[in-house]
Chains A and B, each alone.
Chain A
Amino acid sequence: MTAALIPGIHLSATLAEPAHFSGLEKISLLIGIAISLVLFFWRFGPILRTIFRSKKDNDFSLHPIRRRLWDFVWEVLCQGKVIRQRPLPGLAHAFVFWGFLAFALVSLNHIANAVGLGFLNPASDLGTFYFFFAAAWALLVAVSITALFVRRFFVRPIWLGEKVSYESGVIAFLIFLLMVSYLGAFFVDASGTAVKVLWWTHTLTLLVFLPLIPHTKHLHLVISPFTVFLKRDGFSRIPPLSGDEDFGLVSGKDVTQLISLQVYSCVECGRCTEHCPASNTGKVLNPKEIILGTRSYLNEFGPASETSLLTDMREVPSNNPAAKYMSMEAAFECTTCGSCEYQCPVGIQHLPIIIGLRRGATNTGAWEDTHGTKLFLALEKHGNALGLSAMERDKFIQKQAFPIFDGTQEYCLWLGCMGGYDPKGREIIADFARVMQYLGTTFGVLKKEKCTGDPARRLGNDLVFQTMAEFGLKAFETAKVQKIVAICPHCVRTISNDWREYGIAPEIEHHSEFMARHKARLPKQDSGESIVYHDPCYLGRYRDVYEEPREIVSLAGELVEAPRSHERSFCCGAGGGLAFLGEESGERVSHVRAAELAGTGAQIVGTACPFCNTMFRDALSAMGEAPPQLLDIAQLTARALPASEMRTGEQ
Chain B
Amino acid sequence: MKILVAIKQVPERDAQISIAADGRWIDESDLSYTINEPDAYALEEALQLKEKNGGEVVVLCAGPERVTSTLREALAKGADRAIHIEADDLGERDTLGIAQLLADAARAESPDLILTGLQSDDLGLGQTGVVLAELLGIPHATIIMQVEVTTAGLKVKRELEDGWFQYVEMPLPALLTIQSGGNKLRYATLMGIKKAKTKETKTVQAAPATAAQAITLERVYLPEKQKKTEILTGTPAEVAAKLVEKLKFEVRAI
Enumerate chain A interface residues (CB-CB to B < 8 A): 241, 244-245, 247, 362-365, 368, 370, 372-373, 376-377, 380-383, 389-391, 394, 461-464
In the complex, the answer to whether B189 meets A463 with C-beta atoms within 8 Å is yes
In the complex, the answer to whether B184 meets A373 with C-beta atoms within 8 Å is yes
A389 to B146, CA, bound (A): 29
List the 3 closest pairs (A to B, CB-CB), nearest first.
A376-B187, A363-B190, A390-B14
**Cβ distance B100 to chain A, nearest Cβ, rounded Å:** 31
**Cβ distance B167 to chain A, nearest Cβ, rounded Å:** 26
Which residues of chain B come closer than 8 Å to A390, judged between CB atoms? Answer: 14
In the complex, the answer to whether B186 meets A383 with C-beta atoms within 8 Å is no
In the complex, the answer to whether B184 meets A365 with C-beta atoms within 8 Å is no
Segment at the interface with A among B58-66, B87-95, B191-199, B201-209:
B191-199
A364 to B190, CA, bound (A): 7
**Cβ distance A560 to chain B, nearest Cβ, rounded Å:** 42
Interface of B is mostly: loop
**Assuming A244-B194, A389-B14, is B189 touching A380 (CB within 8 A)?**
no
A241 to B186, CA, bound (A): 22
Residue of B13, B34, B186 near A389 (CB, 8 A) is B13
**Cβ distance A620 to chain B, nearest Cβ, rounded Å:** 30
Residue of A241, A365, A372 near B192 (CB, 8 A) is A365
Q: Is B12 an interface residue (CB 8 A)?
A: yes
Q: Is B185 an interface residue (CB 8 A)?
A: yes
**Cβ distance B49 to chain A, nearest Cβ, rounded Å:** 17
In the complex, the answer to whether B190 meets A463 with C-beta atoms within 8 Å is yes
Residue of A nearest to B40 (CB): A377
8 contacts across the A-B interface (CB closer than 8 A): A365-B187, A368-B186, A376-B187, A381-B14, A382-B14, A390-B14, A391-B16, A463-B193
Q: Is B220 an interface residue (CB 8 A)?
A: no
Residue of A370, A376, A381 near B34 (CB, 8 A) is A381
In the complex, the answer to whether A364 meets B191 with C-beta atoms within 8 Å is yes
Which residues of chain B come closer than 8 Å to A381, judged between CB atoms? Answer: 12-14, 34
Which residues of chain B come closer than 8 Å to A394, judged between CB atoms? Answer: 16
A214 to B194, CA, bound (A): 41
Residue of A nearest to B35 (CB): A381
In the complex, the answer to whether A364 meets B189 with C-beta atoms within 8 Å is yes
Which residues of chain B come closer than 8 Å to A382, judged between CB atoms? Answer: 13-14
B151-194 contacts to A (CB < 8 Å): 184-194
A370 to B183, CA, bound (A): 11
**Assuming A381-B34, A382-B14, is B185 touching A362 (CB within 8 A)?**
no
In the complex, the answer to whether A373 meets B194 with C-beta atoms within 8 Å is no
**Cβ distance B108 to chain A, nearest Cβ, rounded Å:** 31
Residue of B16, B186, B193 near A373 (CB, 8 A) is B186
Which residues of chain A come closer than 8 Å to B188, judged between CB atoms? Answer: 376, 380, 463
Which residues of chain A come closer than 8 Å to B34, judged between CB atoms? Answer: 380-381
Interface residues on B, range: 10 to 19
In the complex, the answer to whether B14 meets A391 with C-beta atoms within 8 Å is yes
**Cβ distance B36 to chain A, nearest Cβ, rounded Å:** 12
Residue of B nearest to A376 (CB): B187
A245 to B184, CA, bound (A): 27
**Assuming A381-B34, A383-B14, A389-B13, is B191 touching A247 (CB within 8 A)?**
yes
**Cβ distance A474 to chain B, nearest Cβ, rounded Å:** 13
A541 to B190, CA, bound (A): 30
**Cβ distance A556 to chain B, nearest Cβ, rounded Å:** 36
A383 to B187, CA, bound (A): 14
**Cβ distance B188 to chain A, nearest Cβ, rounded Å:** 6
Which residues of chain A come closer than 8 Å to B185, judged between CB atoms? Answer: 373, 377
In the complex, the answer to whether A365 meets B191 with C-beta atoms within 8 Å is yes
**Assuming A365-B192, A381-B34, A463-B193, is B14 touching A373 (CB within 8 A)?**
no
A558 to B16, CA, bound (A): 47
**Cβ distance A323 to chain B, nearest Cβ, rounded Å:** 25
**Assuming A244-B194, A370-B184, is B189 touching A365 (CB within 8 A)?**
yes
A306 to B190, CA, bound (A): 19
Known: A373-B186, A381-B12; 7 extra A-B contacts, CB below 8 A, are: A244-B194, A364-B191, A365-B187, A370-B184, A380-B187, A381-B14, A461-B187
| B185, B188, B191 — most chain A CB neighbours (10 Å) | B191
Which residues of chain A come closer than 8 Å to B190, judged between CB atoms? Answer: 241, 247, 363-364, 461-463
Which residues of chain B come closer than 8 Å to A380, judged between CB atoms? Answer: 34, 187-188
A372 to B189, CA, bound (A): 12
In the complex, the answer to whether B186 meets A365 with C-beta atoms within 8 Å is yes
In the complex, the answer to whether B13 meets A377 with C-beta atoms within 8 Å is no
In the complex, the answer to whether B191 meets A377 with C-beta atoms within 8 Å is no
In the complex, the answer to whether B14 meets A363 with C-beta atoms within 8 Å is no
Which residues of chain A come closer than 8 Å to B187, judged between CB atoms? Answer: 365, 372-373, 376-377, 380, 461, 464
Which residues of chain B come closer than 8 Å to A464, judged between CB atoms? Answer: 187
Which residues of chain A come closer than 8 Å to B194, judged between CB atoms? Answer: 244-245
B218-254 vs A, Cβ < 8 Å mask (1 yes, 0 no): 0000000000000000000000000000000000000
A372 to B190, CA, bound (A): 15
Residue of B nearest to A372 (CB): B187
A517 to B111, CA, bound (A): 68
**Cβ distance A192 to chain B, nearest Cβ, rounded Å:** 74
**Assuming A244-B194, A370-B184, A373-B184, is B12 touching A362 (CB within 8 A)?**
no
A135 to B171, CA, bound (A): 93
**Cβ distance B197 to chain A, nearest Cβ, rounded Å:** 8
A372 to B187, CA, bound (A): 9
Which residues of chain B come closer than 8 Å to A241, judged between CB atoms? Answer: 190
